[in-house]
Structure 1
Amino acid sequence: MYSVRGAITVENDTKEEILNATEELLKHILDFNKIEIKDIISVIFSCTKDLKSVYPAEAARKMGILHASLLCLQEMFVEGSMEKCIRILMFVNENKVQSEVQHVFLKEAKKLRPDLMKEFF
């Protein structure tokens, strides 16, 4: 088992933007790490306190992630932290060395962990 991290930001707190951004992030995580949906154990989604229009897990279900456990949480607020951000922590049932994992940070969230990102964009 291994875990994959990711994050993306949205411009506005709308259902459409949150679902589209979550789907974009999930697709990149799956593609870059060659993850099959059947191997996903669980996904934890967190959102900053300014995002409240929809649960990001709805995007995962729409993509066919039907048997993994999904949980949505509000990110801990820290003064001066990034706004309008969706974060993902995915657990995958596959043998891979953690150092081989490609974490994905998109849009403004690239600033969060530049040390974990390879240049794909």
Structure 2
Amino acid sequence: MVRAVRGAIQVDANDRDSIVEATTELVSTLMERNRLTTDDVISVLFTATPDLTAEFPALAARKLGFHEVPLICCTEIDVPGALPRVVRLMAHIETDRPRAEIHHVYLRGAVALRQDIAQ
């Protein structure tokens, strides 16, 4: 069965190290909370708000071993008043778990985006 897992994290600053560090935290936490390995992951779509331009978030996933997983980065819609410096992801995974057992991950300031499901 294929499921989608969502997540987001607010990045401290628009610099390479901050983007990679925050994305690493997001991906690692999502994988841990859902008890996943890279073999379970079909693909990952990353988005970044328009104010994050110093690095591709996918680089962090590659450093975590996502070498055979298709990854892509896009720019999030520039909505006035939106939370700044946010990396989001949607991962497609193979799992037998029902939707109720999928843990979406919202970290740091991004908790404000989905307080209904943030953990």
TM-score of the aligned structures, taking structure 1 as reference length: 0.95
**Structure 2 unpaired stretches of 5+:** none
SS of 2:116's partner is helix
Partner of 2:109, secondary structure, is helix
Structure 2 counterpart of 1:112: 113
Identity of aligned residues (%): 35
Tell me the alpha carbon deviations over residues 53-75 of structure 1, each in whole angstroms, 9 at most, x when there is no partner.
00000000010011111010000
Partners of 1:116 and 1:109 lie apart in 2 by 11
Structure 1 residues 1-121: aligned runs within 5 Å: 1-118=2-119
What is the Cα-based RMSD across aligned positions, in Å?
0.7
Question: Aligned partners of 1:100, 1:93: CA distance in 2, in Å?
Answer: 13
AA aligned to 1:30 is: M
Q: Give the TM-score of the pair, scaled to structure 2.
A: 0.96
Shift of 1:117: 2.1
CA drift of 1:95 comes to 1.6
Find the residue that maps to 1:117 and give its secondary structure. coil
Runs of 4 or more consecutive aligned structure 1 residues displaced over 2 Å after TM superposition: none
Amino acid at match of 1:89: M
Contact 2:46–2:57, Cα closer than 8 Å, also in 1: yes
Give, in whole Å, the separation in 1 of the partners of 2:74 and 2:27: 17
SS at match of 2:91: strand
Provide Cα deviations, 1:22-52, integer angstroms capped at 9, x if missing partner: 0000010000000111110000000000000
Number of aligned residue pairs: give it: 118
